[in-house]
Amino acid sequence: MTSRPNTDNYLDLFLNDIPMMDVRAPIEFNKGSFPHTVNEPLMNDEERHLVGIRYKQQGQDSAIELGNELVCGDTKAKRIEQWLAFTQKHPEGYLYCFRGGLRSRTTQQWLSDAGTEYPLITGGYKAMRRFLIDQLLVSAERKNYRIISGRTGTGKTRLLKRTPNYVDLEGLANHRGSSFGRQLTPQPSQIDFENALSIELLKARHLRTGPVYIEDESRLIGRNAVPQEFRDRSTVSDIVLLEAPLEERIDMVLQDYVIDMTNAYKLHAGEEEGFNLFSEYLLNSVARIQKRLGGEQAQHLQAIMHDALKAQQNNGSLERHKEWIQTLLSKYYDPMYDFQLSKKADRIIFRGDQNSILDWIDQGR
């Protein structure tokens, strides 16, 4: 492998999705990391804990000595083997630790001893995280945003992904943004969400042109909070309003939250257990908004859901699902949305169905 210099060009790393090897301990990696990064630690969590205690009690030299005692022999050989596999798979990549200090240099030296020269990222995770925080502020200030808004079930995400320059907040948060929005896989940590958002905004600024389209979101997408500076900008940005008839919206919700989620749960856990988990997901989604629905309305919806689930399981019929979807849209989501829209109607610059909005965008409006 040709020797390459270390780098502090964080912008290039993130714009080009350069693979990175994080040699911090797993506990550090799980608190915050970056896309296209693999955790191949120099020390595991217990080893790091012990070395940290030694450092506080006896200083750096003693801590290094203990680290070499803990990571030696077969353990050291196995870790070097994993690092070498990464370097061979990603010859264009880099490695880093928390500050680009001792752990990075140790990893780099051990790789060199094994015959491979591999560059590190100066400043490490801390500097890259600081860069992304600062750039998030710049992105919020400099870019022109357009908000895709519309009632539940109009297909805002589908429209979003057909625009020429978009950032999918729900995709980054791995959550659809409503009480029914939970996915089978967990949401990212708040730090991971912020890092991924900042990177996508960098790409929107540097790699694409024109206004950035985002969906109309509340402060929270599941458990992930939209950064305040970015939210402040979105609350004064122009709105493109997506409209669709009720029947079309019912079918959209049916596809997204019944058909697709049933298939996802069955794929995840098998036919019978998957359907049980899907049923639990659906009923719990209503339970989460019970206070806002009112006890009587919530019980009514859950009763319809129970019947719908029974019909779906027995004969594959989905018609009863349309009953609770229509009730939920007309009695809960639509009034709530209409109230919110009334406070920002002056920001609407265009409204229409998906095709008319895309035509309007194509005309360079």
Give the type of residue at 275. Answer: F
**Is residue 72 annotated as part of the catalytic site, yes or no?**
no
**Sign of the torsion angle spanned by Cα atoms 348, 349, 351, 355:** negative
* Given 23, 97, 212, 328, the catalytic residue: 97
Whole-number Å distance between alpha carbons of 175 and 170: 5
Whole-number Å distance between alpha carbons of 152 and 326: 11
Q: Print the SS3 string covering the chain.
A: CCCCCCECCHHHHHHCCCCEEECCCHHHHHHCCCCCEEECCCCCHHHHHHHHHHHHHHCHHHHHHHHHHHCCHHHHHHHHHHHHHHHHHCCCCEEECCCCCHHHHHHHHHHHHCCCCCCEECCHHHHHHHHHHHHHHHHHHHCCEEEEEECCCCCHHHHHCCCCCECCHHHHHCECCCCCCECCCCCCCHHHHHHHHHHHHHHHHHCCCCCEEEECCCCEECCEECCHHHHHHHCCCEEEEECCCHHHHHHHHHHHHHHHHHHHHHHHHCHHHHHHHHHHHHHHHHHCCHHHHCHHHHHHHHHHHHHHHHHHHHHCCCHHHHHHHHHHHHHHHHHHHHHHHHCCHHHEEEEECHHHHHHHHHCCC
Kindly give, in sequence order, each residue whose CB lies less than 8 Å from that of residue 190, ignoring residues fewer than 6 positions away: 223, 224, 225
Give the type of residue at 334. Answer: D
The residue behind tokens 């979807």 is 325
Active site residues: 97
